[in-house]
Amino acid sequence: MILRKTPDELDKIAAAGDILIRCHEILKAKARPGVTTKQLDEAAERFIRSQGAEPAFKGYRGFPGSICASPNSMVVHGIPGPYALRRGDLLSIDIGVVLDGWVADAAITHPIGTVTPVATKLLSATRQSLFDAVEQCRPGNRLGDVSHAVQQRVESEGFSVIRSLVGHGIGRDMHEDPQIPNFGDPGTGPELEEGMVLAIEPMVNAGNHQVRMGSDNWAVYSQDGSLTAHFEFTVAITAEGPRILTPWHLSAADRAPAAPQAASRA
Ligand code: MG
């Protein structure tokens, strides 16, 4: 069953999302060659708790980190540790924040310094596939429209959608119905309705779509060792169109509430 949220509840998820994207901004600035993923994790936990929120991933099924930090061929669920970033890496950072009982979830893959042309293309295709998917988040569309949008973009750019990892509904729980595959047929699946909140997260391999589990039973890698990318938004379906609750693509100035319009003079 897909739970629908009220406008007030969407505002609460957006408040968690605001902390989350400020955390992403801090980590983006810190993610430089020589910095370890553990250092990023510590900075994230400190910041999230300083805002009166909690890191959603910490302790989830025993996960030890506050963020997932997944470099290069690691797709998702990387446990932060001693790995020191190197120039030319891709680093996927996934963050979950709980505020007042509501969860927001969002991921970005960053280039560390200058990366190869194929890595740059992988990042832009994966990022664009997320925006294509968001465009489908309208009442009356179907979940398959969202999934198909990701697949269409990724495959048209020559990359592979990972089949065995999916996005999810989100709200009071980090993982709610529905599961959101990054591939599918338009016009299929549940109808999207106002108040549904989806964590849409394209996970894309530069090589084939197969993945393997790491020895820590958390990290997931591309099986062929190819580079991977991962971008995620928490987005709500509203009558006015998609409402991105974790708008990491906007600058702080653009996220600020619009200034009151000057009263027009008669
Ligand atoms: Mg997620």
CA of 222 to the centre of ligand 1 (A): 18
118: domain range?
7-262
List 221's β-bridge partners, or say none.
74, 212
Predicted pLDDT of residue 266: 44
Cα separation, 209 vs 223, in Å, equals: 8
Domain count, the chain: 1
List 106's β-bridge partners, or say none.
95
CA of 106 to the centre of ligand 1 (A): 7
CA of 224 to the centre of ligand 1 (A): 24
Q: Is 2 domain-assigned?
A: no
CA of 264 to the centre of ligand 1 (A): 44
Residues measured by CB to lie within 5 Å of ligand 1, the ion: 105, 199
CA of 262 to the centre of ligand 1 (A): 40
Q: Is 1 domain-assigned?
A: no
H-helix or E-strand spanning residue 254? helix 252-255
CA of 141 to the centre of ligand 1 (A): 21
CA of 265 to the centre of ligand 1 (A): 48
Q: Is 38 domain-assigned?
A: yes
User: What are the two backbone dihedrals, phi and then psi, of residue 44, each rounded to the nearest 5 degrees?
Assistant: -65, -45
Q: Is 23 domain-assigned?
A: yes
Q: Residue 148 sits in a domain of what CATH number?
A: 3.90.230.10
CA of 266 to the centre of ligand 1 (A): 50
CA of 232 to the centre of ligand 1 (A): 7
Predicted pLDDT of residue 255: 87
Q: Is 24 domain-assigned?
A: yes
How does DSSP assign 1-50, residue by residue?
Answer: ------HHHHHHHHHHHHHHHHHHHHHHHH--TT-BHHHHHHHHHHHHHH
CA of 196 to the centre of ligand 1 (A): 15
Q: Is 224 domain-assigned?
A: yes
Q: Is 208 domain-assigned?
A: yes
CA of 16 to the centre of ligand 1 (A): 14
CA of 259 to the centre of ligand 1 (A): 32
Predicted pLDDT of residue 21: 98
- Given a contact cutoff of 8 angstroms between Cβ atoms, the answer to whether 167 and 197 are in contact is no
CA of 163 to the centre of ligand 1 (A): 15
Locus of tokens 């609750």: 245
CA of 130 to the centre of ligand 1 (A): 13
Cα separation, 80 vs 64, in Å, equals: 8
158 φ/ψ sector (left φ>0, alpha ψ -120 to 50, else beta)? left
CA of 202 to the centre of ligand 1 (A): 10
CA of 161 to the centre of ligand 1 (A): 16
CA of 167 to the centre of ligand 1 (A): 6
Predicted pLDDT of residue 258: 54
CA of 109 to the centre of ligand 1 (A): 14
Predicted pLDDT of residue 210: 98
CA of 105 to the centre of ligand 1 (A): 5
Q: Is 229 domain-assigned?
A: yes
From first to last of its 266 residues, the chain has per-residue pLDDT tens of 999 999 999 999 999 999 999 999 999 999 999 999 999 999 999 999 999 999 999 999 999 999 999 999 999 999 999 999 999 999 999 999 999 999 999 999 999 999 999 999 999 999 999 999 999 999 999 999 999 999 999 999 999 999 999 999 999 999 999 999 999 999 999 999 999 999 999 999 999 999 999 999 999 999 999 999 999 999 999 999 999 999 999 998 888 765 555 555 44
- Given a contact cutoff of 8 angstroms between Cβ atoms, the answer to whether 264 and 252 are in contact is no
Q: Torsion angle of alpha carbons 139, 143, 145, 151, nearest 10°?
A: 150
